[in-house]
Amino acid sequence: GDCIIIHDEL
Amino acid sequence: MNFFRLVADLMHLASIFILLLKIQKTRSCAGISFKTQLLYAIVFVTRYLDLFTTWISLYNTIMKIFFIASSVYILYLMKYKFRATYDPILDTFRIEFLLAGSLVLALIFNYDFVPMEILWSFSIFLESVAILPQLFMLSRTGEAETITTHYIFALGGYRALYLCNWLWRYIFDGHVDVYAWVAGIVQTALYSDFFYIYYTKVLHGKKFELP
């Protein structure tokens, strides 16, 4: 989907 | 990267070093919940699967590897090296419910219905409640070694600072991550009683004792 978040946090 | 997030990550890092220090110095894992440590190991392994798929930064990669490795090492210390000092009678919180509940929530609330994203959500929800066996153990013993309370404080403070980080990122970057926010608020709220006693007792030079 286009609501994907890039998980750039720990 | 902003101030809150950096300090939060360093606090998270510090909490692990404090725990390792406590175990090595006292040569004992008394007062530490194996179940909580097991949950953290599961949290790190399921969240950081993206080590194999996504490159964020060297900082991010090193931290992830450290968190996975240290959590497994702590399990080893508790299960083998200092096994005799661990008291399972005090560590009786039923983590099956936490694992099952987190899985159900992850199947419902995720950013994409694919294994990696479901496991990411699972790790976020599981982390929010992973401290419960430790707090339960604390409530059963009614007191704790000061160094153990520093460990729990650093561990709880890290997510509280993440709340500030998320507010910062929302205001300045429009960054939104609802599941992490809600889980982070729950996680921080679970520590509130502990924070209160830590502040009123430990920071005033007294022993951590439940009223």
Asked if B111 and A10 come within 8 Å (Cβ–Cβ), the reply is: no
Distance from CA of B104 to the nearest CA of A (A): 20
- Is the ipTM higher than 0.95? The answer is no
Asked if A5 and B12 come within 8 Å (Cβ–Cβ), the reply is: no
Distance from CA of B85 to the nearest CA of A (A): 31
Question: SS3 of B144, please?
Answer: strand
CA atoms within 13 A on the CB side of B95: 22
Condensed to tens digits (0 to 9), the pLDDT of residues B164-175 reads 999 999 999 999
Task: State the pLDDT at residue B211.
Answer: 83
The whole-angstrom separation of Cα B90 and Cα B33 is 8
DSSP symbol at B109: S
The count of residues in chain B is 211
pLDDT above 90 (res A2) = no
pLDDT above 80 (res A1) = no
Condensed to tens digits (0 to 9), the pLDDT of residues B64-81 reads 999 999 999 999 999 999
Instruction: Select from B28, B210, B41 the least CA-distant residue to B135.
Output: B210
Task: State the pLDDT at residue A4.
Answer: 67
Contacts of A10 in chain B (CB under 8 A): 9, 12, 60, 63-64, 67
Low-confidence ranges of chain B (pLDDT < 50): none
Please tell me if residue B61 touches chain A, with a CB cutoff of 8 Å: no
Task: State the pLDDT at residue B179.
Answer: 97
Contacts of B177 in chain A (CB under 8 A): 5
